[in-house]
Chain A
Amino acid sequence: MKVGLFIPCYVNAVFPEVGVASYKLLDHLGVEVDYPMDQTCCGQSMANGGFEDKAVPLAKKFDQLFEKYDYVVAPSASCVAFVKENYPRLLKKEDHLCQTSGKIYDICEFLHDVLKVDRLPGKFPHKVSVHNSCHGVRELHLSSASELNIPKYSKVKDLLSLVEGVEVLEPQKVDECCGFGGMFSVEESAISSCMGEDKVKNHIATGAEYITGADSSCLMHMEGVVDRQKLPIKFIHVVEILAAGL
């Protein structure tokens, strides 16, 4: 099984340790991992901002770069959701048949559904509050959305339960948006900041030491709030916990 690792632009620049943890985890689980060098960005931020056409050449490039792998895996639910949901339609504009949308996975999804991981070696003796990101929940279905009357589940919590010592908590308003939303965070900065503050408060109220989740973009947004207000909580991507000790 050959996996192409996709490290989204902001993870690459701001959270490279998340990329490293992803690689170590996949390698530990016996997966052959390759990192195609010419990758850049999936184009989501432009598209969500209203400039989907600007994402089309990026989509084509992405698809060509990753089509040779059995799976494409990325530590970012939101970027994965964008590729999965929008690439086939975007690439149609270029008469290009999308190859990657069917085989791209968020890393949690990949570990849970494809590798069906049932043990992990690490320990993480801390209390964490899980951030259920909008696109992770409502597009990739990493957990049951709070609005829907369907059986409750959470792939992220299932995976975390494999790590020794971790105490998993969830905030009130369990999957309310943190207010990032790409360009929304600058266009509607007042509302976005308010949403971020409210979300962080709910996470802090759980008594957790860390906020963790499958989307670095949400974590980055909330970290901005926490840094500004000097609030007592830290951030860690869920992959870093899953890769503890590797």
Chain B
Amino acid sequence: MSTKHTKAAERFLSDKQQETWHNETLWFVREKRDRMAFSLPEWEDLREMANKIKMHTITHLDKYLDQFSEKAEANGVIVHWAKDAAEHNQIVLDILHGLNAKKMVKSKSMLTEECHLNDFLISHGIDVIESDLGERILQLKGEMPSHIVLPAIHLKRQQVGELFEDKLHTEKGNSDPTYLTRAARQHLRNEFLTADVGMTGCNFGVAETGDVVVCTNEGNADMGTSMPKVHIVSMGLEKIVPTVQSLGVFTRLLARSATGQPSTTYTSHFRKPVDGGQMHYIIVDNGRSDILGNKEHIQTLKCIRCGACMNTCPVYRRSGGFSYTYFIPGPIGINLGMLRHPKEYSDNVSACSLCYSCNNVCPVKIDLADQIYRWRQNLDSYGKADPLKKTMSAGLKFLFERPGLYNFALKFAPLVNHMPHFMVYNGLNEWGKGRELPRFAKESFTSMWKSGKVKPKK
């Protein structure tokens, strides 16, 4: 009775010190988020407003994308449309080839991870440089992000120190975060200055103006689009907001939910190419329009990728991002993975105790836990239901449908208390690995009621 998540989680938990650090560090981010949420009396109204704006926008995407792309083109932006990851990657490569570009710096983008853009470009001889510090660390280490906002949260400073020693020739044994960050600043400054093209993701696209808004703390998206003359924006088509005024609702929620900051350091609004330069938007579907037609999971399209659901998730905090098989972990990742490919990513559906905390922190009120519950109901039809859970459920149904049998079982249940320890706590008993089994009462409530023992003290 285990999924890939279960097994990976066990491995993560075997390093108790690391697990505790991971758990407590992310909980600290959750607490920072709480302080921000509680500093605004209108917080819950803001979430509800964000929810409504998103529901409106995603169900009018045809109209808003039309408006957005027309505005952008009028502003001198070249707009491209990609139905899937392959088209997206090809468009990027074609732009680079057209410019004879060899080096591209990019800021963090979950969409480019989704499309496996870097591998594709590198295989075509392009030098792709991730410029977010966490993403750069992972790129140098050859790893994937384990969190969508805090990509290198699984690494310790010593590991980063050793990596930089090897790759950036920093001092041996120096793992001071300030020292390492300065080393990265110097290294990446050079990359910004020598890049031919800058790429960013997109936090928000504003339909009425054609603007793209990118939020960072490091300023890497800005550095990457200030030195090269060409800026490519890779955006999922659900990133649209209707107006500048509605943008305010989301910029107020994003950083507060993500890291517990009142704002990201930089909230950059791009409207036109730089003088003598080019700006390209690549608008990507890659399965999103299908989600729009899926009533049970349409709300995932509201996601603004803040990562708050990961920080609050008691399972994510204790199992780490790599315990999930989809590249986006945590509650939103469980759902997005299933939407991507239910048979391939069904192992993550077990990673939820249905505590519903994710629903409450989500700034756009996605019904994350309810969706996980729904996926569980469908696992059997994908042939992915756990056979033991299935047998248990069938057995329970058989028992509970028969009150006589149920009462009979209640009567004899206490016998289990007297079974030899080895019979109860064997390898098949997952419960018994960390906990004692509950002891059945000598007499059940039903039996007490029947025999008139349930009475008020007169």
* A interacts with B: yes
Which A residues lie at the B interface, using CB under 8 A?
A: 7, 9-17, 19-20, 23-24, 27-28, 35, 37-41, 43, 45-55, 57-58, 61, 134-135, 138-139, 145-150, 173, 175-177, 179-198, 220-221, 223-225, 227-228, 246
Q: Which of A16, A37, A224 contacts B431 (CB 8 A)?
A: A224
Q: A14-B439, A149-B37, A224-B436 are in contact. Are A187 and B431 (CB under 8 A)?
A: no
Q: Which of B312, B403, B433 contacts A38 (CB 8 A)?
A: B403
A48–B241 CA distance with the chains assembled, in angstroms: 35
Closest to B450 in A: A37
Closest to B314 in A: A177
Is B299 close to A, CB under 8 A? no
Is B293 close to A, CB under 8 A? no
Extra 8 A-B pairs, beta carbons < 8 Å, given A147-B34, A190-B9, A194-B318: A13-B440, A48-B354, A50-B393, A51-B393, A54-B394, A58-B401, A188-B351, A191-B13
A43–B394 CA distance with the chains assembled, in angstroms: 11
A225–B435 CA distance with the chains assembled, in angstroms: 5
Among B23, B354, B433, B457, the one with the most A-chain Cβ atoms within 10 Å of its Cβ is: B354
**Contact between chains at B2 and A41 (CB < 8 Å):** no
Q: Which of A20, A47, A49 contacts B445 (CB 8 A)?
A: A20
B376 partner residues in chain A, CB cutoff 8 A? 48-50
A13 partner residues in chain B, CB cutoff 8 A? 410, 413, 440-441, 444
Q: Which of B352, B394, B396 contacts A41 (CB 8 A)?
A: B396
Smallest distance from the beta carbon of A228 to chain B beta carbons, Å? 5
Smallest distance from the beta carbon of A5 to chain B beta carbons, Å? 9
A50–B383 CA distance with the chains assembled, in angstroms: 12
Closest to A223 in B: B438
**Contact between chains at B400 and A48 (CB < 8 Å):** no
Binary flags per residue of B369-382, CB closer than 8 Å to A gives 1, else 0: 00001001111100
Closest to A180 in B: B353
**Contact between chains at A7 and B445 (CB < 8 Å):** yes
Is B389 close to A, CB under 8 A? yes
Is B179 close to A, CB under 8 A? no
A51 partner residues in chain B, CB cutoff 8 A? 377, 380, 385, 389-390, 393-394, 397
**Contact between chains at B446 and A37 (CB < 8 Å):** yes
**Contact between chains at A177 and B357 (CB < 8 Å):** yes
Closest to B20 in A: A198
Give the number of chain B interface residues (Cβ < 8 Å).
78
Q: A48-B376, A134-B356, A191-B13 are in contact. Are A14 and B441 (CB under 8 A)?
A: yes
Q: List 30 A-B contacts (CB under 8 A).
A: A12-B410, A13-B440, A14-B441, A16-B443, A24-B456, A35-B454, A37-B446, A37-B450, A40-B401, A47-B377, A49-B393, A50-B386, A57-B401, A134-B355, A138-B355, A145-B360, A147-B360, A149-B38, A150-B44, A179-B353, A183-B393, A186-B1, A187-B389, A188-B5, A189-B6, A190-B434, A191-B13, A191-B318, A228-B435, A246-B457
Closest to B378 in A: A50
A11–B445 CA distance with the chains assembled, in angstroms: 8
Smallest distance from the beta carbon of A77 to chain B beta carbons, Å? 12
Is B209 close to A, CB under 8 A? no
Q: Is the interface of A mostly helix, strand, loop or mixed?
A: helix
5 nearest A-B residue pairs (beta carbon): A193-B434, A224-B435, A181-B353, A50-B376, A147-B360
Q: Which of B318, B378, B406, B431 contacts A186 (CB 8 A)?
A: B431
Which B residues lie at the A interface, using CB under 8 A?
A: 1-3, 5-6, 9-10, 13, 19, 23, 27, 34, 37-38, 40-41, 43-44, 312, 314-315, 318-319, 349-357, 359-361, 373, 376-380, 385-386, 389-390, 392-394, 396-397, 399-401, 403, 406, 410, 413, 430-431, 433-441, 443-446, 448-450, 454, 456-457
A225 partner residues in chain B, CB cutoff 8 A? 434-435
Q: A16-B445, A40-B403, A149-B41 are in contact. Are A49 and B434 (CB under 8 A)?
A: no
B379 partner residues in chain A, CB cutoff 8 A? 50
Q: Which of A40, A134, A183 contacts B400 (CB 8 A)?
A: A40
B318 partner residues in chain A, CB cutoff 8 A? 191, 194-195
A101–B448 CA distance with the chains assembled, in angstroms: 27
Smallest distance from the beta carbon of B27 to chain A beta carbons, Å? 7
Q: Is the interface of B mostly helix, strand, loop or mixed?
A: helix
**Contact between chains at B373 and A48 (CB < 8 Å):** yes
B2 partner residues in chain A, CB cutoff 8 A? 187
B393 partner residues in chain A, CB cutoff 8 A? 45-46, 49-51, 54, 183
**Contact between chains at B377 and A52 (CB < 8 Å):** yes
Closest to A175 in B: B357
A224–B425 CA distance with the chains assembled, in angstroms: 13
A24–B9 CA distance with the chains assembled, in angstroms: 44
A195–B40 CA distance with the chains assembled, in angstroms: 31
B403 partner residues in chain A, CB cutoff 8 A? 37-40
**Contact between chains at A192 and B444 (CB < 8 Å):** no
**Contact between chains at B435 and A188 (CB < 8 Å):** no
Closest to A245 in B: B457
A139 partner residues in chain B, CB cutoff 8 A? 356
A57–B23 CA distance with the chains assembled, in angstroms: 40
Q: Which of B9, B27, B356 contacts A173 (CB 8 A)?
A: B27
**Contact between chains at A189 and B430 (CB < 8 Å):** yes
Q: Which of A23, A186, A224 contacts B438 (CB 8 A)?
A: A224
A196 partner residues in chain B, CB cutoff 8 A? 434-435
A58–B44 CA distance with the chains assembled, in angstroms: 37
Closest to B435 in A: A224
**Contact between chains at B396 and A54 (CB < 8 Å):** yes
Closest to B379 in A: A50
Smallest distance from the beta carbon of B398 to chain A beta carbons, Å? 9
Smallest distance from the beta carbon of B7 to chain A beta carbons, Å? 9
**Contact between chains at B456 and A187 (CB < 8 Å):** no
Q: A9-B400, A58-B400, A193-B435 are in contact. Are A146 and B450 (CB under 8 A)?
A: no
Q: A57-B397, A138-B355, A187-B430 are in contact. Are A50 and B445 (CB under 8 A)?
A: no
Q: A14-B441, A19-B445, A189-B434 are in contact. Are A58 and B397 (CB under 8 A)?
A: yes
A158–B442 CA distance with the chains assembled, in angstroms: 33
